[in-house]
Structures are given as C-alpha cells and as structure tokens.
Amino acid sequence: MEIVVHARGLVKKFGNRAVVDGLDLFIERGEVLAIIGPNGAGKSTTLDLILGLKQADAGSVTYWREDPFHQIGVQLQSTPFFPGFNALENMRMFAAFYGLRLTNNDILSILDQCDLREVVRTNADRLSGGQQKRLSIAMTIMHKPQLLFLDEPTSALDPRARREVRNLIQSLTATGTSIIFTSHDMEEVHKLATRVVMINAGRVQAVGTPEDLLTEYNVTSLEELYIQLTED
C-alpha cells in the first residue's frame, strides 16, 4: 500500500508546554483515518502541522509526492463563504482562487454530488447548517483532490444532515480519495473510519481499525474505549 502522508516525531510547543509531543502518524491511499481524542488533545494542531499551517518544533512530514498541495482539499472548522453570494457564485469564486477552469456545468455537477442542486441560487449564509457543511466540502473537492482533511465535518448537525454528510464522505472514498477527519462522535467514527488514531496529551495513545481496537481493549464500542483511555 502507498503511504500518502507520513508524520514522524512531531513536536509543537506553546511556551513551555508541548501540545503535540512526539507524534507519529501515517495514512495509506484510500484510507479513511479518524483522529479522535479529548478537547485540547492536540488534534487540530496536528492537522495544522501536517498541512504546514503551523511550524513544528521537531519532526517531519512527508507526502506521497513533492508538490502535493494541488492534490489536497482542506475543510477547517469555520466555513469561509463570501456573504451575500449564492452557492454557485461562491463555488465560482473559489474555482477562480484555485485557478481552476470549470464550466457552470462542472460546478453544478459537483453541487449535485453534494446534494445541493436545489439550493444553488440560495445565499450561502441562508443555507442550513448541513447544507453549509456540504457546500464547504463541495469547495474542497472542486479540484478532485487525492487527499482530504475534514475537521469535524458533522459537528452541530441534525441526524439527517449528519447522515447526508456521511454519505458524501463515503461516496468520496468510493472514488479512491484518502480522508483524514476528526470527530467526537464515536458511532460515526465506527461507521466511517477504516482506521482510528486516538490522540491524548499530544501523543498517539491507541491506533488500529475499529474492530481491532474493540478486540485489543476488550470493549464493545469505541465510546467505551474512549472512556477507558481517558480515565484518570
């Protein structure tokens, strides 16, 4: 299997405190890797280090190719829409930023894939929470990335919207996209992830497929595992 990203010995300190503390992590092509762990464990900082948005104090990150960034899509927690513009216009502006030559039909088919066809003319800031998440994912897949980073893609969504985003993620993996996502919803992690990395206090505390983790820790759910591993 081809390794798409390999982070080795990452360290990030804020003042004297290492919030990422010698962390190793990799993702293979086609995997859906879930990063889980308590609030403040260092998950977002780890993603930032991997993406080069923050500079590591130690360690290295290698990608499957030398210039990976045209092949990467990133959805961070806040959604950067242009207020006052509809979904289609937002997509067009993002396409221009990426330097992509997409026709209206290309963009409409991506919006279709994200189940947003009905709301293409609706102002982005009037879309429901689930539609906004799907629009932000639509923006990250416009350039057909091989690797996607999704930071809590289903947080604060109702069950139906959550399921829609989950279906979208599953349809992307069916096309071979590798996905790294963070989530606090253990049931969802179990449904989506092919492999799970549990981070606690800036270190990897457990790693494996959901089934392997349940067996290894003798638990019946990832939630139980999470509670067990985060007990004082």
- Could you list the residues that contact ligand ATP (CB under 6 A)? 14, 19, 37, 39-45
Strands 195-200 and 178-182: unpaired
The structure tokens listed for 187 are 């049931």
Minimal distance, residue 54 CB to ligand ATP, in Å: 8
Minimal distance, residue 174 CB to ligand ATP, in Å: 28
| C-beta of 90 vs 182, nearer to ligand ATP | 182
Minimal distance, residue 29 CB to ligand ATP, in Å: 25
CA distance 152 to 155: 5
| C-beta of 44 vs 90, nearer to ligand ATP | 44
Among the listed residues 80, 120, 109, 77, the one whose alpha carbon sits nearest the alpha carbon of residue 97:
80
CA distance 214 to 222: 7
Secondary-structure breakdown of the chain: helix, strand, coil percentages, each rounded to the nearest 5: 40, 25, 35
Minimal distance, residue 105 CB to ligand ATP, in Å: 38
| C-beta of 44 vs 131, nearer to ligand ATP | 44
Minimal distance, residue 192 CB to ligand ATP, in Å: 17
| C-beta of 19 vs 108, nearer to ligand ATP | 19
CA distance 146 to 47: 16
Minimal distance, residue 46 CB to ligand ATP, in Å: 7
| C-beta of 39 vs 220, nearer to ligand ATP | 39
3-class DSSP state of 87: helix
Strands 58-63 and 3-14: antiparallel
Q: Name the amino acid, one letter, at 137.
A: I
CA distance 160 to 130: 8
| C-beta of 77 vs 170, nearer to ligand ATP | 77
